[in-house]
C-alpha cells in the first residue's frame, strides 16, 4: 500500500520503517530505509536501524550507518556505542567491536551510564568467533567483573567457556568450569568432551580423561556416556579400550534409561580408565 502512496514524506517514510521494525519485518525495514535514503529523505531512525543491522547481522549496512554517524558529527554516546558494538560483535568483526567499545569508555567515564551485560555478551561472542582467548579473559575478568562490577551471569560463563573450548584451550576450559561458582551441567561437560575430540584426540593433556570421569560420576546411568567413551577410543585408534567399554556395556546389560551400570556390573567407574 505504501509503495503506491503518492505523496511520500519524510514522516511517512519514518513511520513505515518504524512500523516494519515494530512488526519484526526487519528485512523490509532495511529495504525501506535504503529506499528512503535513495530518495534523499533524512531518516531519523538511524539508531533503530543500527539495532536492526545487529539483529540481522548486516555488517555492510551497519558500517554505512556508522559512517553516517561520523559524517554528521553525532557524539558516540552510550546508546550509539552499544548499538555499534553490537553490530560489529554479532557480525564477527571483533576488532571494530573492540575499537568502538574502547573508544566509548571515554564517554562512559564522563557519564554515569555503564556498559551492561548485553554489551559484554556481544564482545565475548565476538572473541569466541575469532578465537581470542586472552581478550576473552580480559573482558570477562578485568573489564566486566572488576572495572564495571558486573556480576557475570550464566550466559557469560557459557560464552567464556565457549571461547576456550573453540580455541582448543582445553586445560583452561576445564579449570574454568571447575572453579566456583560454575556448576557445570552435564551438557557443558559433553561440550568440552567434544572439543577434546576435535583438538586433542589422543588426550595428551589428560582433560578428556577427567571429563569422562566427571560425566560418569554425574550420570552413571546414561548409556550414551559409555557409547561416547567407546567412540572416542575408536577415534583415537585405541581399539582395545573401545572393545573393553563395549564388552562391559554388553555384559552389564546396560540399557537406555536402565539401572546404574555400576550396580549391574558391580564395578567402579574407574575401571574404564586404564590409561
* Cis preceding-peptide flag for 93 (omega within 30 of 0): no
Residue number, 36 or 216, with CB nearest to ligand NAG: 36
Residue number, 91 or 128, with CB nearest to ligand NAG: 91
**Distance in Å, CB of 56 to ligand NAG, minimum:** 6
Closest CA to 170 of 136, 140, 189, 196: 196
Residue number, 24 or 218, with CB nearest to ligand NAG: 24
**Distance in Å, CB of 12 to ligand NAG, minimum:** 19
Residue number, 28 or 145, with CB nearest to ligand NAG: 28
Residue number, 34 or 155, with CB nearest to ligand NAG: 34
Closest CA to 198 of 235, 237, 239: 235
> Contacts for 118-123 with beta carbons within 8 Å, 24 or more apart?
118/82, 118/86, 119/82, 119/85, 119/86, 120/144, 120/148, 120/150, 120/152, 120/156, 121/155, 121/156, 121/159, 122/85, 122/86, 122/89, 122/90, 122/97, 123/85, 123/89, 123/94, 123/97, 123/98
Give the residue closest to ligand NAG by C-beta. 58
Using CB under 6 A, list all residues that contact ligand NAG.
30-31, 34, 58, 60-61
**Distance in Å, CB of 187 to ligand NAG, minimum:** 31
**Distance in Å, CB of 50 to ligand NAG, minimum:** 12
**Distance in Å, CB of 38 to ligand NAG, minimum:** 10
Amino acid at each position: 500500500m505504501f509503495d503506491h502512496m503518492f505523496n511520500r514524506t519524510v514522516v511517512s517514510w519514518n513511520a513505515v520503517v518504524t512500523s516494519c521494525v515494530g512488526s519484526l519485518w526487519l528485512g523490509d525495514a532495511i529495504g525501506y530505509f535504503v529506499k528512503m535514503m535513495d530518495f534523499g529523505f533524512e531518516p531519523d531512525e538511524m539508531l533503530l536501524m543500527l539495532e536492526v543491522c545487529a539483529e540481522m547481522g548486516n555488517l555492510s549496512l551497519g558500517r554505512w550507518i556508522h559512517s553516517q554517524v561520523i559524517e554528521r558529527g553525532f557524539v558516540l554516546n552510550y546508546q550509539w556505542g552499544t548499538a555499534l558494538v553490537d553490530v560489529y560483535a554479532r557480525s564477527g568483526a571483533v576488532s571494530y567491536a573492540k575499537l568502538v567499545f574502547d573508544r566509548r569508555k571515554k564517554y562512559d567515564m564522563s557519564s554515569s551510564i555503564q556498559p551492561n551485560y548485553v554489551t559484554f555478551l556481544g564482545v565475548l561472542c565476538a572473541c569466541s568467533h575469532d578465537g581470542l582467548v586472552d581478550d576473552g579473559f580480559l573482558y570477562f575478568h578485568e573489564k566486566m567483573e572488576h572495572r564495571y562490577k558486573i556480576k557475570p551471569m550464566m550466559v557469560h560463563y557459557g560464552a567464556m567457556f565457549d571461547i576456550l573450548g573453540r580455541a582448543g584451550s582445553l586445560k583452561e576450559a576445564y579449570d574454568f568450569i571447575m572453579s566456583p561458582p560454575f556448576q557445570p551441567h552435564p551438557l557443558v561437560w559433553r561440550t568440552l568432551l567434544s572439543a577434546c575430540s576435535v583438538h586433542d584426540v589422543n588426550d595428551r593433556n589428560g582433560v578428556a580423561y577427567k571429563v569422562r570421569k566427571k560425566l560418569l560420576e554425574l550420570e552413571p546411568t546414561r548409556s550414551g556416556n559409555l557409547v561416547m567413551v567407546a567412540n572416542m577410543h575408536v577415534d583415537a585408534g585405541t581399539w582395545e579400550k573401545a572393545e573393553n567399554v563395549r564388552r562391559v556395556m554388553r555384559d552389564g546389560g546396560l540399557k537406555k534409561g536402565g539401572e546404574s551400570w555400576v550396580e549391574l556390573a558391580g564395578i567402579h567407574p574407574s575401571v574404564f580408565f586404564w590409561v
